[in-house]
Amino acid sequence: MADTPTRPTGEAGPQRVVLAYSGGLDTSVILKWLQTEKGCEVVTFTADLGQGEELAPARAKAELMGVKPEHIFVDDLREEFVRDYVFPMMRANALYEGLYLLGTSIARPLIAKRLIEIAAETGADAVAHGATGKGNDQVRFELSAYALNPDIRIIAPWREWDLTSRTRLIEWAEAHQVPVPHNKRGEAPFSTDANLLHTSSEGLVLEDPWAEVPDYVFSRTVKPEDAPDTPEIITVDFARGDAVAVNGEALSPAALLARLNDYGRVHGIGRLDLVENRFVGMKSRGMYETPGGTILHAAHRAIEQLTLDRGAAHLKDELAPRYAELVYNGFWFSPERDMLQAAIDQSQAKVEGTVRLKLYKGGCYVIGRRSPQSLYSEKVVTFEDDQGAYDQRDAEGFIKLNALRLRLLGRRDR
C-alpha cells in the first residue's frame, strides 16, 4: 500500500522541489522519498553533458513515478558545458594538485545553474541532489545554488535519511514500488561519473591505494599496451586561447572535444590514478579518464609557449593552482574566480596558431607549433651569426647587477 504524502510538523516544508535526476537507482529513491517523506511535488532535471547514456529512460521513469510531463526537463547542455565551463578552465591550464583536469568539478556549477533556472520557471521553492555527505559534490552543488539564489532551500537526502547501506536502499525501493534493475541488486564494484570531458571512478575495489586499478574499470580508453603500434599525428588550431579546429576542420566546442576524445580513446591517452585531498578533509583515491582534455591541455600549453610573454606566462602558472582549487572546492560563482578569469582571458588575446602532436601508446607529445603572434625569434636565439640582433657583451652587466646582492652576502658570510 502506497504511503500518503504528509508534511513534517513545525516549519513548513518545501511545496515543490527540483531534483537533479539521473534516472538511476539512487536518484529514483530520492524522487520517491521526496514525494512520500517530504510531501513534495517533484520536478526532475536530467542534464546531457555528453555522458554517453540514453536519456529517454530517465524521462520515462520519472513519468512512471508520477512526475507531470511538463515537470520533466531533459536538457542537452553539451555545447554550453564545453564553451562556457571547460574552455575557460582550459585557458587557465588548471590542474588540481598538479594532475587532475577537474572533469567532475567543472560540471557541477552548470547543473546547479540549470536547477536554479528551472526552479524559477516552475515556481519551485527548493532544489535537491543525490550527493553524499562525504564528498565534494554536495559542496559544489550547494555553493553554486546559494550564489545564484541566496534564498533557495536545498534538500540533501543522504544527510537526512537512515538508508546507510545499499541493502537498506534496495529494501526501501522495493517497499515503495521503485523499480530496481537486476544489475543493481548486488553491491556495485565502484561508482562512476561521466561527461564529455571525463569519466571518474572511485570506491570499493578502488579504495586500496596500493592495488592496481582493474582493467574493467576503464571505459573511455584502450589499454596503452594495446593501442596502435604506429603513432598518429594530429593538429589543433587555436584562436584567443580556445581550440577551434582539429586537422584543419573547424568544429564547435563540444564537437571538437568529442573528436579529441576519439583520438585519445584509440591511443590510450588520459588515464590518471590519483589520491587527492577532498575539500571536506579526507583523502580519496580515484581513477580518471580524460582523453580529449589531456590532448587539449598539452596543445594549449604548447601554443602559449610561443605567444605569451615570460611575465604573463609565469604569472599564469602562479594563478593556475589557485584557480584549480576554486573550481575543485565549488567556488565557480565567486568574485575571486571571476577576477582570475578576467586576468586569464586578457592574457589569451593573442594565443592563436597551430600545434602538431604525436599520439602513441598512452602518450601525447608536442612535436611542433607555429603562430602568427609568435614571440619566438630564430634570428635572436640562433647559435649562428645573428647579424647584430643580440650583443652578447650586454650579458656581463646583466649578470653583475643580478649578482650584486649575492656577492655582498658572500663577503659578509665568508
Q: Is there a catalytic annotation at residue 208?
A: no
- Active-site residue 137, yes or no? yes
Ramachandran quadrant class, 20 (left: phi over 0; alpha: psi -120 to 50; beta: rest)? beta
CA 130, CA 116: separation in Å to the nearest integer?
16
48 given a catalytic annotation: no
Q: List Cα–Cα distances, 170 to 129, 165, 185, 410, in angstroms.
A: 19, 9, 7, 73
153 classed as catalytic: no
* Residue from 191, 278, 334, 345 carrying the catalytic annotation: 191
Torsion of the alpha carbons at 392, 396, 398 and 401, rounded to the nearest 10: 180
Q: Please choose, from the candidates 70, 76, 59, 77, the residue with its C-alpha nearest in 3D space to the C-alpha of residue 21.
A: 59
Distances (CA, A) of 311 to 84, 322, 347: 27, 18, 11
CA atoms within 13 Å, Cβ hemisphere of 289 = 30
Given 26, 193, 237, 242, the catalytic residue: 26
Exactly one of 59, 78, 108, 140 is catalytic; name it.
Answer: 108
Task: Give which of 343, 326, 218, 209 is closest to 274, Cα–Cα.
Answer: 209
List 28, 91, 137, 259, catalytic entry = 137
User: Counting Cβ atoms within 10 Å, is residue 226 exposed (0-12), middle (13-18) or buried (19+)?
Assistant: exposed
Q: What residues are labeled active site?
A: 26, 108, 137, 191
